[in-house]
Structure 1
Amino acid sequence: MELRNLKTFKVVAEELNLTKAAKRLGYTQPTLTLQIQSLEKELNHTLLTRIGKKTLLTTAGKKLKVHVDQIFALMDQMEKEMDELRGPSGILTIAASDYYCTQHLSPIIRSYTELHPDVRVSLLPLNSVHAIQSVKDQVADLAIIASDCHEVDMRQTFLEEEKTLLVVSSDISKGRDLEEIFRQYPFISYDKDCSFSSIIDQYFKTSDLQPQSMIVVGGSDETIKRAVLNGTGYAILGENIIKNELKDGSITILQPVSESIITSIISLKVRSEEPNIQTFNEFIQGAW
């Protein structure tokens, strides 16, 4: 049984239109017809029938299609695994927040692609919640997240623990105590769809003070930092994003926050041994 004839049947069974199938395969229609007839003769079954202008699969054709689909799916998997033995190549899609993309990943990706020039990295800017989902849906191969991932089918590797701080602009903090700042200024918050919101919720659950008002600005660390610097209000931010502002004195720490940001990299366990995923996972642990 020739594989070429099975491939022809597969396309015909998908199209159920000989003209379209011939065009897709690059054959003339008589050639395609001869291949189907050869397969029918070998199997001793009619595979196609016509009712009016419609081409339909016979019962034997339907059964054969199931087996043919399995054969070609297995062949695709075989080719993929053989390709993987040659090492990392193709596109590696990484989901991460804007902050991780701009502040951490650029030099890491540059060094990684110098080591593996056949890999092209694509960054997908997403907050941690959406980044986890993108890996589950296999839209992204890997994700850098700032939260725990409780998905049993995920592999999670620790990268960094970062302190979180309640902060305000130094202009606002001058001559005002914590209660006064809470009373006079709004709390600048991430939206509820952001993993950072759990740190905020935990802080206010155990705090004696509660914000009198709140402004939700989304999931961007940089946007919230700018709002703090502009004197809009106070916020909880990771230590890394405000280290320069703490150093130059433009931002003041009001209180340390007990909950830390845990940065990690995740991927699906079933895909963890794919060359692109495995090599980047190993590389980033040393480079972060």
Structure 2
Amino acid sequence: MELRNLRTFQVVAEHLNLTKAAEHLGYSQPTITLQIKALERELGHSLLNRVGKKTFLTPAGKVVRQYTEQLFSVMQLMEEELNHLNNPFGNLVVAAPEFYCTQYMPHMLKSYLEMHPQVNLQVISCSSQEALRRVNNHEADIGIIAGTCDLSDIYASVVDLEEFALVATPEMIAGRSFSEVLEQYPFLSYQEGCNLDGFISQCLAEINYSPQSVIKCTSEETIKRSVLNHTGVAFLSTALIQAELRSGAVEELHRFSRRAETSIICLKRRKDEAAIETFAELVTDVWQSVRENQ
């Protein structure tokens, strides 16, 4: 049974006028007649009656019209569902550290929603380790993390290589040698389990620095504010403290040669979903330009 013939019958049943049906479908009237007759032969029932100049549906025609409308309604729903696979829609939860949320996300969210207004975005500020956990446990669709990811089910795409420096305030450095500053002040560090633990250890080994006194902090922002309060020396991304470095509020004790990966992550089996794929592409496309304009 050809869908074309069913579609022709649906239009004829709606108008009950072969001329109008032909105009609607862009067919000639003889073509309409041939298609209806082919459908009647296939079904074994007459579908239309003509009385004078008027056309009526037979009892069989009324039944076929009912199911034809249901058929094309279901086909329309199917097409809409298939279109959703190619067009982002629904909820999209993004988990990322506070610095990324405040410095990068506002630009990206505006651009993304202008392109895909049918997506409902939610941004969660958390540590990189927590972002990894949330993505792995289906509590977030996308994460942006500092450091590497070794989970087998996670797909990671590097968007940046961050530089890090050991920093202190000018007041802490004044009149003291490098070693004296390190000996006198505690080291401000991330809580244990940070995604950068291994990277930090490698960097500190570069300068043979084994802090005797360590203060654990919950976020980069806490570490930065503690440095500005002359509490201790800190290991921080230079992107996070660009303004403070320019103003002289903090000074570099040492800039490390190693760089840490910044990656966008999602579950491997979900990376081709439209909302996830388009958001990841946007992050990749605009990350560097956002950073340069900070």
Q: Name the CA distance, whole Å, in 1 between partners of 2:260 and 2:209.
A: 22
> Which runs of no fewer than 5 residues in structure 2 stay unpaired?
1-77, 288-294
Partner in structure 2 of residue 102 of structure 1: 102
Within-5 A mapping of 1:51-90: 82=82, 84-85=84-85, 87-90=87-90
Partner in structure 1 of residue 72 of structure 2: none
Q: Check conservation: 1:159, 1:264, Cα contact below 8 A.
A: yes
Q: What RMSD in Å do the two structures reach over aligned CA positions?
A: 1.8
Q: 1:208 to 1:80 in 2, by over 3 A?
A: farther
1:278 aligns with 2:277: yes
Q: Name the CA distance, whole Å, in 1 between partners of 2:142 and 2:104.
A: 15
Q: Greater Rg, structure 1 or structure 2? A: 2
Q: Name the CA distance, whole Å, in 1 between partners of 2:196 and 2:169.
A: 21
Aligned residue identity for 2:238: E
| Residue 250 of structure 1: how far off its partner (Å) | 1.1
Q: Check conservation: 1:238, 1:261, Cα contact below 8 A.
A: no
Q: Name the CA distance, whole Å, in 2 between partners of 1:139 and 1:209.
A: 38
1:163 aligns with 2:163: yes
Q: Name the CA distance, whole Å, in 2 between partners of 1:193 and 1:79.
A: 47
Q: Check conservation: 1:84, 1:274, Cα contact below 8 A.
A: no
Question: Bigger CA drift: 208-217 or 115-124?
Answer: 208-217
| Residue 110 of structure 1: how far off its partner (Å) | 0.9
Within-5 A mapping of 1:210-221: 210-218=210-218, 220-221=219-220
| Residue 247 of structure 1: how far off its partner (Å) | 0.5
**Aligned with 2:147: secondary structure?**
coil
| Residue 261 of structure 1: how far off its partner (Å) | 2.1
Deviations 1:139-170 (A, max 9, x none): 11110010111222222111111110011011
| Residue 130 of structure 1: how far off its partner (Å) | 1.5
| Residue 81 of structure 1: how far off its partner (Å) | 5.5
Aligned residue identity for 1:275: A
Aligned residue identity for 2:146: A
Aligned residue identity for 1:184: Q
| Residue 230 of structure 1: how far off its partner (Å) | 0.6
Q: Name the CA distance, whole Å, in 1 between partners of 2:278 and 2:227.
A: 39
Q: Name the CA distance, whole Å, in 1 between partners of 2:168 and 2:147.
A: 24
1:224 aligns with 2:223: yes
Q: 1:208 to 1:285 in 2, by over 3 A?
A: closer
Q: Name the CA distance, whole Å, in 1 between partners of 2:189 and 2:261.
A: 19
Partner in structure 2 of residue 172 of structure 1: 172
Q: Check conservation: 1:224, 1:235, Cα contact below 8 A.
A: yes
Q: Check conservation: 2:144, 2:264, Cα contact below 8 A.
A: yes
Deviations 1:237-257 (A, max 9, x none): 001011111111111111112
Partner in structure 1 of residue 123 of structure 2: 123
Q: Name the CA distance, whole Å, in 2 between partners of 1:142 and 1:273.
A: 12
> Which runs of no fewer than 5 residues in structure 1 stay unpaired?
1-77
Q: Name the CA distance, whole Å, in 1 between partners of 2:282 and 2:261.
A: 19
Aligned residue identity for 1:256: R
**Aligned with 1:240: secondary structure?**
coil
Identity percentage of aligned residues = 38
How many residues align structurally?
210
Partner in structure 2 of residue 50 of structure 1: none
Aligned residue identity for 1:133: R
Q: Check conservation: 1:93, 1:123, Cα contact below 8 A.
A: yes
Within-5 A mapping of 1:1-288: 82=82, 84-85=84-85, 87-218=87-218, 220-288=219-287
Partner in structure 2 of residue 72 of structure 1: none
Q: Name the CA distance, whole Å, in 1 between partners of 2:98 and 2:146.
A: 12
Deviations 1:223-268 (A, max 9, x none): 1011111100101000101111111111111111233121110111
| Residue 80 of structure 1: how far off its partner (Å) | 9.8
Aligned residue identity for 1:277: I
TM-score, normalising length: structure 1: 0.69
| Residue 191 of structure 1: how far off its partner (Å) | 0.8
Q: Name the CA distance, whole Å, in 2 between partners of 1:200 and 1:273.
A: 33
Q: Check conservation: 1:187, 1:215, Cα contact below 8 A.
A: yes
Q: Name the CA distance, whole Å, in 2 between partners of 1:126 and 1:272.
A: 21
| Residue 206 of structure 1: how far off its partner (Å) | 4.1
